[in-house]
Amino acid sequence: MPLIAGIDIGNATTEVALAQHGRFIASGIVATTGMKGTRDNIAGVVTSLQQALDKTPWSLQDVAKICINEAAPVIGDVAMETITETIITESTMIGHNPQTPGGVGVGMGITISVDKLASLREGRFAQGWIPLVGEEIDFLEAVWLINEALDRGINVVAAILKKDDGVLVNNRLRRAMPVVDEVTLLEKVPEGVLAAVEVAAAGQVVRVLSNPYGIATFFALTPEETQTIVPIARALIGNRSAVVLKTPQGDVQSRTIPAGKIFIRGEKRGGEADVAQGAQAIMQAMSACAPVCDIRGEAGTHAGGMLERVRKVMASLTGHDMNAVHIQDLLAVDTFIPREVRGGIAGECSMENAVGIAAMVKSDRLQMQAIASELSARLNTPVEVGGVEANMAVAGALTTPGCAAPLAILDLGAGSTDAAIINSDGVVKAVHLAGAGNMVSLLIQTELGLSDPFLAEEIKKYPLAKVESLFSIRHENGAVEFFREPLSPSVFAKVVYLKDGELIPVDNQTSLEKIRLVRRQAKEKVFVTNCLRALRQVSPGGSIRDITFVVLVGGSSLDFEIPQMITDALAHYGVVAGQGNIRGTEGPRNAVATGLVLAGEAKK
């Protein structure tokens, strides 16, 4: 019995729909092999097709025709361009944030090596002193030297340690004072200079030294000098402990990195945008030049290098000349990246401004035709390029119970966001935009400073909780859940994500509230922004209010919070939006594959 297969090659998954005489009989889904739109996809296509056939009594020989999508490659190398930078010259130290500072409060005094405290005369007790404790000095010896100085009336107001001994030292001192430890390059801290040390209580952050006027008060700065220390205060925001030194030659600067310009060539007009001005300026230029034919970056700059990398990768994968590769769309998003401060002496980090950019290469039907030909020869079955994804997704979405034209669809994938609208006459208008699930994962990874991209992907997909005891957790929505059996000690007091009923710890010191905020903001910046601009482009009158019904399809519409975000955003325009249920059985998945089957059968 002849079968027809529709195969949707996506950035993350390859999906199959099998039908016989207009009746759908099976579906399949596997991870996409290689970059979407390249010959590497063939292995995944064969695997997904076999997976679907395994659910039926038929084999590959029974497949009469295969329809694949016109896959537009989306480069997964989304760039993060830092556009501000904090630089320290000479020996100024702008702050520190160790895990275990000791004491609490603010101390201001002159730095001195701890072993020189014994040489101080009692007559100088009014001056505040801050001893520097190197790794060659044991914490017990340091405690003895500081306590002995206090007993003699020396005014020791704080301490700076190289080793991780802050709590051990603080617990043994005769006077409460702030103690900062883990200053790895302590030898670069000069003696005899004025310094301020602040340690906040557990669960709190520094308030005095993260305030420019607080620093100005301690160091008696002029209004002009106060302007120059703004980067210091900015870099200390959110820290539990902080140190600021005043050296004669030291200086702190905040400078803008020349990230370069982006040049946009549209069908009717061209434009440009400076990356340093942020995502809004870039997207305004994109909107003014729509529809876009090609995008290039300024030669010799960060932006130019990023976009040329995109061309180079696509050229090598497709075998085309770099000049023949055109970038069809670009999504820019403002974000922050934790960057180690240049010139810091204790691994200090500052949250620097950055722009995330996702670029999409123009669809190459000839490349897809080459894939179809190779696949046909391998399977000995006719293979044709069925059509543009968004058009096919509309046809698939219409199989959702309760749906009928006119309506619009949003296909939310891993690399791209597609939108299409079909009117009552069956005419489809579609758009294909860069930026989707992969970009959300990148934003989460960079803003949280994660080294593991897999952890960022998991944080994106699963809700969070905080383990409050061995028998209870508090979910991110505030609900408390109790357990009959004790939880593993490995998750105690940690932030975890809930995956298939299992608690998996997040190996990061960031709070649950911060992780949740970063995750939700990343989804809003990418998906909500892209959905709104996609619908504006396909709307008959250019306004979202001209659209009544929107169906969400694609893998990312399975996310536990993205559909609600989009539904809420569209509700302001009077639009009814919700997840699709393809063929009444597949949920929001398989829309394009189903549409390919329907289009293939219509050509018989």
Binding site annotation covers 13? yes
Half-sphere exposure of 129 (CA within 13 A, CB side): 27
151 annotated ligand binder: no
Q: Do the annotations mark residue 100 as ligand-binding? A: yes
Structure tokens at 63: 């497949």
The backbone torsions φ and ψ at residue 185, rounded to the nearest 5 degrees and listed phi first, read -110, 50
Q: Is 187 helix (H, G, I), strand (E, B) or coil?
A: helix
Two structure tokens written together for 409: 């669809």
Annotated binding-site residue? 452 = no
* 447 is annotated as contributing to ligand binding: no
459 is in an annotated binding site: yes
Structure tokens at 519: 């995750």
Which residue from 556, 392, 367 is spatially nearest to 6, judged by alpha carbons?
392
d(CA 521, CA 524): 5
Cα distance between residue 519 and residue 459, in whole Å: 7
The DSSP result for 227-253, as a single string, is: HHTHHHHHHHTT-SEEEEEE-SS-EEE
321 marked as part of a ligand binding site: no
* Residue 188 counted as an annotated binding residue: no
241 is in an annotated binding site: no
Which contacts of 461-464 are long-range, i.e. CB under 8 A and separated by 24 or more positions?
A: 461/559, 461/560, 462/497, 462/498, 462/499, 462/560, 463/497, 463/498, 463/560, 464/495, 464/496, 464/497, 464/498, 464/506, 464/512, 464/515, 464/516
* 555 labeled part of a ligand binding site: yes
Judge whether 432 and 416 are in contact, CB under 8 Å. yes
Contact 467, 492 (CB under 8 A): yes
589 among the known binding-site residues? Answer: yes
Tokens of 245: 């030194």
Q: Which residues carry a binding-site annotation for Mg(2+)?
A: 100, 164, 181
Q: Which residues carry a binding-site annotation?
A: 11-13, 100, 164, 181, 457-460, 555-556, 589
Q: Which residues carry a binding-site annotation for ATP?
A: 11-13, 457-460, 555-556, 589
